Amino acid sequence: MGCSCSKNQHESNIEALNLRIKEAIERNNPHSLEHLIKSSVDQSKSITEFSLLNDPVTTVQEIKLNPLGYALWLGRTEVFKYLHKRLGADINFMEKLFKNHGITSIDIICQQGYLEILIYYLPIYLANHKEASPQISTGESLTVDFERAAFSDVPIKSSVTAVLSACDKGYINIIDYLNTYFRNAGYVPYYLDIDYQDEHQGENCAMIACRNGNYPMIKFLYETCHANFQAKNKRNESVIQITAAGSRKNMHRDYHEIFVYLIEKVGCDATYNYEETLLLLESRATIRYIEKILGDKGIYIQKSDLEISNKIRRSQSRRLNGEELKAEEALTKDFNISKMIEDDKNDPKSILSSISLNDSKLETPFVSVIDGVS
């Protein structure tokens, strides 16, 4: 009985101590944290400094975090550096806790735009971690709600690289630092390579910036980073179609200047899949601009004509005479609808794939859906 009470008291003391450690980290007060840890060790024979520095002190979104991991999670640079340099917290324990949930410290740093921590920690991380082969994406992006993280039960799954996440968030400062850091390195880990195309959709940073309509990021990627704007995604769509799809989804943004920049400055080919581009566009100014560009290249076409011709083709393709209808019924007699739906769910879509075929504004045979990084 006494042993049980003693054990419960010890656990209660550890829990209270962990709470105080959390509070010191949240206040970004390294000296207070050091005093707390050392005084706790001095007062108890059952507590070691090593365990206080490296064992979990809290759980956020089902992820167990030790002091170093919690400081990184919150972006507390001073505490993070102090824990590592002065107190000797082991980064391997932190990374192991992250790895249990399929993420890394670099993922979190880049998604949250923690530039100061990145500057300090990137050389240390690279020296301690050999590059692993990229994993096939589940299609879910690394998106963490840090504002409500302490109250969330949703686990984190990483399916995009750290640099793609930073680009999606619009952190030019992170992209700038990574570009400068690896400029003369001769080798860039795939998860920090701006030209790496993710396994799910085949997107690189240039495509993400175009889809998001982030004009400053687009200019920075092209003019400073010399990013690849000529690549195609998994469905052979260029940045022109990707931008057109993005403009359709984010209609509150003006994409016209982006099209002009991509075609006239970057040199993207407006004639590639031009029919799909026109059918996706809604901005009259951009439609006229693309039609003029095509006309200058000997392609005389208007969006209105494309919409009419596609309506006719779709109408004709749906007409079945009596015999064709019977044949169709025979072919589909044993058709498994549930399997079809399941297969459709598992089918990786392109950036354009969220614009459904039933969209009344898009009379096109393309099944184009915007399926972006959240």
Residues 290-311: tens digit of each pLDDT: 999 999 999 999 999 998 887 7
Confidence of residue 33 (pLDDT cuts 50, 70, 90): very high
* Res 167: pLDDT: 98
Q: How many CB atoms within 10 Å of residue 213?
A: 19
More confident residue, 46 or 255: 255
Confidence of residue 117 (pLDDT cuts 50, 70, 90): very high
Q: 133 with 98: CB under 8 angstroms?
A: no
Domains of the chain as residue ranges with CATH: 12-132+139-159 (1.25.40), 203-321+348-374 (1.25.40)
CA distance 167 to 173: 10
Question: Whole-prediction pTM value?
Answer: 0.75
Helices (H), the chain: 2-26, 30-43, 49-54, 67-74, 77-81, 91-99, 105-112, 115-128, 162-169, 172-181, 205-212, 215-223, 239-249, 256-260, 274-280, 284-296, 303-318, 322-331, 337-346
Per the rule left: phi > 0, alpha: psi between -120 and 50, beta: everything else, 152 is beta
pLDDT tops 70 at residue 343: no
The rounded mean pLDDT for the chain is: 80
